[in-house]
Structure 1
Amino acid sequence: MSLLTKPVDLMAARLRARGIDPLLPFLGAASLALLAGALSFQVLGGLEPCVLCLQQRWPHLGVVVAAGALTALGPSRRVQGWGLLLITVLLLVTGGIGLYHVGVEQGWVEASAACTMSTAQGGGAQDLAALRAAIAGAPRAACTDIVWSLLGISMAGWNALLSILLAGIAAGGARRIFRHG
């Protein structure tokens, strides 16, 4: 047994004793860790996110909120199963956005209008002050730029891989609950 295995087993046993599926806090913590990583790269590393980067964060926030609420409230097993299905969908959404973002980065698909359209192109700014405000509020990174990678995989790629893996875990948990209660 490793030093980490015993505390994790103890925590899982305590959650089960309260009728809470241990996957809920695990999935919430995993999404929170991915959000914290992205924010760390932004705040500490100075890497500005693009529109797609920001869109990938919202489903993770939803997972954190759903998992936290279900863990805190300890609802019936059936409600926890539905919560795991919701978490599955949220993780698939962020994973899908991540896959799309990888396609944009690699030039396999065209960037959406949100990645390329400026206020000047859209005609939204009516005066110089509005144009300056729009430019100041716009993300500085282009969706096509890979600002960081590890093992040849960009942050969007890692988000896609990890989110889809977590979605599979969440779906398996929901299936287990619906099959066996």
Structure 2
Amino acid sequence: MSLTPRWIYAFIVVCCSALLAYALYTQYFDGLHPCPLCITQRAFFVLTALVALIALITNPHQNGRYVSAGLMLVTTIAGGSVAYRQVWLQSLPPDQVPACGPSLEYMFSNLPFGEAFRTLMLGDGNCAEIVWTLFGFSMPNWSLFAFIGLGAAAIVSALPMLKR
């Protein structure tokens, strides 16, 4: 069994699915309510998985592999940027943390879409709270590591030396 782009696409789909499943587990069984940045990161994991799933199904030739890898890189860089922002917010001294904002339901029903989307992308004081750690790293840290690994897998999937 040799490493092929399809195996890498399947790996990316499985990883994203597992990450999303764990996020939903912590939300519904551990009671950890996601902040706006957490929800945004979840959306980028979904987008990454969708691109990988489409590539897995279509099994593109070399140019298609470049396109698939490029799209996955865009989603992983965007998701990693959001995760990095949350890690940065969590590292701020308490007096520099931005104020907590309203709930997402309130924002999207009462604020203009642009302002609600901006808050979703930039986060608020809720995003600076550390409520879960593993080996000393918060969930956004692990999310950032995952986006980096998924981006690296996307790059490897486009290497010309891999057999289709």
For normalisation by structure 2, the TM-score amounts to: 0.75
Out of 49, 55, 66, the residue aligned to residue 81 of structure 1 is 66
Query: Are 1:81 and 1:177, in contact at CA under 8 Å, matched by a contact in 2?
Result: no
1:43 aligned to 2:28? yes
Match of 1:94 in 2: 79
> Unpaired runs of 5+ in structure 1?
1-8, 126-140
Residues of 2 paired with 1:145 and 1:116: CA distance?
10
- Matching residue's letter, 1:118: P
Mapping of 1:115-154 within 5 angstroms? 116-118=100-102, 142-154=126-138
- Ranked by relative contact order (alpha carbons within 8 Å, sequence separation 6 or more), the top structure is 2
Tell me the alpha carbon deviations over residues 40-63 of structure 1, each in whole angstroms, 9 at most, x when there is no partner: 110111111111110111111011
Residues of 2 paired with 1:107 and 1:92: CA distance?
23
Residues of 2 paired with 1:162 and 1:117: CA distance?
27
TM-aligned CA distance change 1:72 to 1:180, over 3 Å: closer
For normalisation by structure 1, the TM-score amounts to: 0.68
Match of 2:144 in 1: 160
Match of 1:177 in 2: 160
> Unpaired runs of 5+ in structure 2?
111-124
Structure (1 or 2) with the larger CA radius of gyration:
1
Identity across the alignment (%): 24
Tell me the alpha carbon deviations over residues 135-167 of structure 1, each in whole angstroms, 9 at most, x when there is no partner: xxxxxx911111100111100010001211221
- Number of positions where the alignment pairs a residue of Structure 1 with one of Structure 2: 145
What is the aligned-residue RMSD (CA, Å)?
3.0
Match of 2:120 in 1: none
